[in-house]
Structure 1
Amino acid sequence: MSRRNWVAGALLLPAFSAWALPERTLVEVWKDPSCGCCKDWVAVLQKAGFDVRISDTGNDAVRAKLGIPAALGSCHTARVSGYALEGHVPVREIQRLLREKPKVVGLAVPGMPVGSPGMDGPAYNGRQDPYAVLLVQRDGSTTVFQRYT
């Protein structure tokens, strides 16, 4: 191999690597160490191609730090690309948030609605309660981002 071919190959390697191995989006999750439904939600994210880093330290302090009102609380809080995620937010809505990039705090699914991702295992016998994914504004107000019935 000539030096010219080697240099050309070395210059093209970073471009090829970026094309061949797209960067996966990191989701940081804070949860209680004993929560099983949080683990199930994390599995949904991983299956969808997200990289997930888990902190088993609880989520109340992080929820407040990220700007999610306590009234919207759930069993876990997450951060993705600068946005807060509270509760069992579906992957489809996370992807939409990242695509549309609104100037908001993030998304919340308050409580733990049965049928939401991570709350849809065999123990629930296929039950699907209606719920809304809320868009959380910087002032703490919310609007419905998506309804699930």
Structure 2
Amino acid sequence: MKLPLVLGLALLSPAVGANGLAIEVAKTPTCGCCSAWIDHLDENGFDVTTHNVTHRELNEIKVGLDIEPGQASCHTAMIDGYFIEGHVAASEIRDLISTQPEAAGLTVPGMPVGSPGMEVGDRQDAYDTLLVGNDGDTSVYREH
């Protein structure tokens, strides 16, 4: 499937923008936790370009990137040829970019409380950030 132009360009763009690591995020316009995650990236020196898309377009992006339903969350980003799915911490994205593993991307499936953008007081659910291999298999990248 051909990727929508909004994220198709990120596959070819350099990872460094004017103010830091350049990342493109696709989200629906009304999702507050997506906006909170984008704030987390901004606060951690990322150069974020946001694309507000419909639910259908967002699902098409996920399908185009071979993101399985069990790996999905509420927003999808692209940076330096990797996808970032869901509430992945900025430090983990930086680590991914610096180590350049053979992989498709990182995901935090669902919307776990306590992940960046999903903060609710002091509550912290246990969750894993997963590294998604080019074959779609996952392994634990970080435990939280």
Q: TM-score range by the shorter chain?
A: 0.7 to 0.9
How far 1:92 sits from its partner (Å)? 1.1
Unaligned runs of 5+ in 1: 1-20
Deviates more, 1:62-71 or 1:82-91: 62-71
Cα distance in structure 1, aligned partners of 2:82 and 2:121? 33
Say if 1:89 and 1:133, in contact at 8 Å, map to a contact too: yes
Matched, 1:136 2:132: yes
- Structure-1-length-normalised TM-score: 0.80
- Give the deviation of 1:22 after TM superposition: 6.8
Select the structure that is richer in helix. 1
Q: Give the aligned partner of residue 84 of structure 1.
A: 83
Answer yes or no: is the 8 Å Cα contact 2:23–2:47 preserved in 1: yes
Tell which deviates more after alignment, 58-67 or 127-136: 58-67
Greater RCO structure (CA 8 Å; 6+ sep)? 2
Residue 32 of structure 2 is aligned to residue 36 of structure 1? yes
Deviates more, 1:29-38 or 1:56-65: 56-65
The percent identity for this pair of structures is 44
The TM-score with structure 2 as length reference comes to: 0.82
The verdict on how the C-alpha distance between 1:108 and 1:26 changes in structure 2, with shifts beyond 3 A counting, is: same
Alignment partner of 1:34: what SS?
coil
Stretches of structure 2 lacking an aligned partner (at least 5 in a row): 1-16
Partner SS state of residue 27, structure 1: strand
Please point out which of 22, 44, 54 is paired with 1:26: 22
CA distance 1:22–1:53, shift in 2 (3 Å): closer
Determine the structure 2 residue equivalent to 1:60. 59
Instruction: Tell which structure's C-alpha radius of gyration is larger.
Output: 1
